[in-house]
Amino acid sequence: MTGIFLQAFVYLLAAVLAVPLAKRLGLGSVLGYLVAGVAIGPLLGLVGQETQSIQHFAEFGVVLMLFLVGLELDAKQLWQMRQRLLGLGGLQVLLTTGAVAGLALILNQPWQVALALGMIFAMSSTAIVLQSFNEKGLAKTEGGRGGFSVLLFQDIAVIPILAILPLLALGAPQVDAGHEDMSLVAGLPGWANALVVLGAIAAVVFGGRFLTRPLFGYVARSGLREVFTAAALMMVIGIAALMSLVGLSPALGTFLAGVVLASSEFRHELESTIEPFKGLLLGLFFITVGAGIDFEMLLSQFALVLGLALGVMVIKALVLLLLAKIFRLSGSDKWLFALSLAQAGEFGFVLLGYSQQQGIFGSELGGLLSMVVALSMFLTPGLFILYERVILPRVTRSTNEREADTIDEQGPVIIAGIGRFGQIVNRLLRANGVKTVVLDREYAQVERLREIEMKSFFGDVSNPELLHTAGIESAKMLVVAIDDVEGATALVRHVRQHYPQVAILARAFDRGHFYALTEAGADWVVSESFYSALNMGGEALIRLGMHPFAAEQRKTAMVEREKAHASELYEAWLEVRDNLDRRERYLKLFIKLEAALKEDMGKDRMDGHSRSLSGWTPPPKGYDKELASQEESMRPQAVKE
């Protein structure tokens, strides 16, 4: 027990010390974890042989990550990716396998070994690449999307590769001491095997679609957060177990489950629940990669390992560049795609171990090659830095020097996020002579804007340093229009705390986010879809035969209603957020709002006091007789005067 505590403490301490430092130096968290691993393993010798077993455990972080990635993608988006997935991904695996195998043949390896090596090195590191993409906000760039397609295809390709490897065995398979895998498909004939596999996939899809809702609903109603956490982990672990049983990649299975759940109402809850586990486990995984580096071997064969690692990376990068050309990735995207995927990956470790078990090559070569894989992973953060610091500025067509954090224009209005939403705000302001500073962490967007001669800057808005450079101290206003829901709230809170003089206008994703932004201190919040939806509703009324002016009034009445109940709903939301069991109250309030709205729609001002509807109510019938009689009664008095 004490030992476990000590070890856990060492791992966590290393991470806590190294990662913030790496992040501050702009090296990214992955490199921080890797260095932390090297420090506690080979350098200080604080941890030793157990890294192997910890690594198996930590690989679950990759599984969780793919689940989260799946949550971001619904089935439709996945279907739209199919060409890229098969084209880019398939070609990458085939060409890289061929190229690496060719190199191995030149180095006098038998063809079976060469082919095995080709397949092993065709894999890239899903963990490092996706983590870096997310951290640097590159996931939605063209290059990032291409990279993701390739990684996903590789995860799928592992399955046939595991089937092919045994066929390449030269000698008798070594006795595999560590082989204790249970399997549902061992010893089944091919067709039955396929049926079981398909059945498992079907189980994940249908289970995700039809069973999760009652399950999570049941758990959520209990109002206990930890049970929800348990349920989420249970689901992911269960799927991983099922996939392992039928010989599929657990990461792939959970990815699929994520895609199925992408449209469910529990999506955000699941995301925020799983996120911390993913982060820690991935971090642990990177640490074990660092700790697993065999320094003695590395030093004795340093030149060879480095040479091989660099050779593999160059080959992979060249293949990727070729693919980028074929698939018309241009400019910075091309380089991002090529550099980010040039390393060997964690599946490489798995396949190496498996190949050794199958007796394709000996443990000496295996050990050497796992050093090569580890080293190439170690070098990857460097490539990301190369991309950010060297390639991006060069590729940028604009003549002025572009750095992720130099802003040469300070304006009274800072616009964070220049996607579909921020762009319109920006255009309106600029057209009226307002100077704006535009920030976005998605480089492709910034690049596009620069092409149309609009000044915009690349960088992560949540970074206080960047806000400072953008001139937040002297800014009058900050417009928050970034996609990242939590990020937007955090940004508003940060600016409200440190720069109270800045007016903050923020865009909300939905009602909950609206309240969260309000609470964080935004001066004015607009729901991103409210007004467009309202206009569409009005258009629908008109097309159903309502008079356009009447429809306009109905729209106005709806906004007024919303306003009238805003503070009440906000208070309720605050309560709900603090205790899940208040959800009932919030729902009741919402139903009340709907009822009030309905009532308003049928009411004239005369009957009750709804405003803005039927303000043009004619006076009651016969009112003129009344007025005339009043006039009559006035007259005699006038005569008396």
Partner 1 sequence: MSSVLLLFAHPSQHKSEVCMPMYRVAQSVPGVTCVDLYADYPTFNIDIATEQQRLSAHQRIIWLFPLYWYSTPAILKEWQDLVLEYGFAYGQGGTALHGKSLLCALSAGGSESSYCAEGYNHFGLRQLLSPIEQTASLIGMDYLPPFALFGARSAVEEGRLEPHLKRWQAVLEALVAGEIPDTGCGEGAPKKRETLS
Q: Does position 617 bind partner 1 by CB under 8 A?
A: yes
Residue nearer to partner 1 on the CB measure, 409 or 552: 552
Among 24, 194, 606, 607, binds partner 1 (CB under 8 A): 606
Nearer to partner 1, 186 or 627 (CB): 627
With contacts defined by CB under 8 A, name the span among 237-245, 413-421, 516-524, 612-620 that binds partner 1.
Answer: 612-620
Establish if 563 lies at the interface with partner 1 (CB under 8 A): no
Identify which of 387, 404, 402 has the alpha carbon closest to the alpha carbon of residue 333.
Answer: 387
Q: Distance between CA 194 and CA 267 in Å, rounded?
A: 31
* CA–CA gap between residue 250 and residue 67 (Å, rounded): 10
Q: Site for partner 1 (CB under 8 A): which residue of 616, 635, 638, 639?
A: 616
Among 223, 592, 627, 629, binds partner 1 (CB under 8 A): 627
Q: Does 599 bind partner 1 (CB under 8 A)?
A: no
In the bound complex, what is the minimum distance in angstroms from residue 285's beta carbon to partner 1?
A: 56
500 counts as binding partner 1 under rule CB under 8 A: no
* From 303, 615, 633, 638, residue interacting with partner 1 (rule: CB under 8 A): 615
d(CA 168, CA 186) in angstroms, rounded, equals 20
Q: What is the dihedral of CA 333, 336, 337, 340, to 10 degrees?
A: -170
Residue 316 Cβ, how far from partner 1 at the closest point, in Å? 59
Q: Are 582 and 572 in contact (CB under 8 A)?
A: yes
x/- mask, partner 1, residues 162-201, rule CB under 8 A, reads ----------------------------------------
Distance between CA atoms of residues 147 and 559, nearest Å: 44
Nearer to partner 1 by Cβ, of 316 and 561: the residue is 561
Tell me how crowded residue 464 is: count the other CB atoms within 10 A of its CB.
Answer: 13
Q: Measured in whole angstroms, how far is the alpha carbon of residue 137 from the centre of its chain?
A: 9
**Alpha carbon distance 258, 200 (integer Å):** 15
* Interacting span for partner 1 (CB under 8 A) from 114-122, 216-224, 245-253, 603-611: 603-611
Instruction: Based on the shown chain and the rule CB under 8 A, indicate whether residue 623 belongs to the binding site for partner 1.
Output: yes
Q: Work out whether 620 is an interface residue with partner 1 (CB under 8 A).
A: yes
99: left (phi over 0), alpha (psi -120 to 50) or beta: alpha
- The residue with tokens 């080293």 is 375
DSSP H helical ranges for 579-622: 583-601
Cα within 13 Å of Cα(548), Cβ side: 0
Residue 478, both tokens:
């900050």
Residue range at the interface with partner 1 (CB under 8 A); choices 6-14, 350-358, 401-409, 617-625:
617-625
Minimum CB–partner distance for residue 556 and partner 1 (Å): 5
611 binds partner 1 (CB under 8 A): yes
For residues 492 and 504, the answer to whether their CB atoms sit within 8 Å is yes
> x/- site string to partner 1, residues 455 to 484, per CB under 8 A?
------------------------------
Helices (H), 210-301: 212-222, 225-245, 250-261, 267-291, 295-300
* Least gap, CB of 501 to partner 1 (angstroms): 24
Q: Nearest approach, Cβ of 623 to partner 1 (angstroms)?
A: 5
Q: Which stretch binds partner 1 (CB under 8 A): 83-91, 485-493, 591-599, 602-610?
A: 602-610
Shortest reach from residue 551's CB to partner 1, in Å: 14
Q: Which of residues 341-400 bind partner 1 (CB under 8 A)?
A: none
Q: How far is CA 89 from CA 72, 307, 341, 427, in A?
A: 20, 26, 11, 38
**Of 394 and 625, which has the nearer Cβ to partner 1?**
625
Q: Which is nearer to partner 1, 394 or 609 (CB)?
A: 609
Instruction: By CB under 8 A, tell whether 565 contacts partner 1.
Output: no
SS3 249: coil
CA distance 641 to 637: 7
CB proximity list for 389: less than 8 A, separation 6 or greater: 404
**Contact in structure between 253 and 240 (CB atoms under 8 Å):** yes
Closer to partner 1 by CB, 12 or 564: give it: 564
How far apart CA 482 and CA 508 sit, in angstroms, is 9
CB 618, min distance to partner 1, A: 8
Stretch that binds partner 1, among 80-88, 277-285, 528-536, 606-614 (CB under 8 A): 606-614
Segment interacting with partner 1 (CB under 8 A) among 479-487, 542-550, 591-599, 613-621: 613-621
Task: Choose the binding region for partner 1 from 421-429, 512-520, 570-578, 619-627 (rule: CB under 8 A).
Answer: 619-627
Q: What is the 3-state secondary structure (H, E, C) of 551-565?
A: HHHHHHHHHHHHHHH
Which of 77/617 has CB closer to partner 1? 617
Coil, strand or helix at 504? strand
Distance CA 319, CA 515 (A): 49
Nearer to partner 1, 45 or 619 (CB): 619
Interaction of residue 612 with partner 1, rule CB under 8 A:
yes
Could you tell me if residue 182 is left (phi over 0), alpha (psi between -120 and 50 degrees) or otherwise beta? beta
Stretch that binds partner 1, among 222-230, 390-398, 486-494, 615-623 (CB under 8 A): 615-623
Instruction: Compute the half-sphere exposure of residue 562: CA atoms within 13 Å on the CB side of its CA.
Output: 13
Q: Position 303: which residue type?
A: A
604 counts as binding partner 1 under rule CB under 8 A: no
Query: Quick check: 210 binds partner 1 (CB under 8 A)?
Result: no
Report, in Å, the least distance between residue 423 CB and partner 1.
23
Q: How far is the CB of 481 from partner 1 (least distance, A)?
A: 23
CA angle 390, 396, 398 (to 5 degrees): 130
Nearer to partner 1 (CB atom), residue 210 or residue 623 = 623
Q: What are phi and psi of 146, to 5 degrees?
A: -60, -45
Shortest reach from residue 530's CB to partner 1, in Å: 16
Number of residues that bind partner 1 (CB under 8 A): 14
Distance from the first to the final alpha carbon of the chain: 110
Name the segment binding partner 1 (CB under 8 A); options: 49-57, 162-170, 189-197, 608-616.
608-616
Q: Which is nearer to partner 1, 186 or 428 (CB)?
A: 428
| Interface with partner 1 (CB under 8 A), residue from 275, 556, 562, 564 | 556
Backbone phi, psi, residue 524, to 5° = -150, 130
**Least distance (Å) from partner 1 to the CB of residue 543?**
22
**Do the beta carbons of residue 342 and residue 122 sit within 8 Å?**
no
Residue ranges in contact with partner 1 by CB under 8 A: 556, 605-606, 609, 611-612, 615-617, 619-620, 623, 626-627
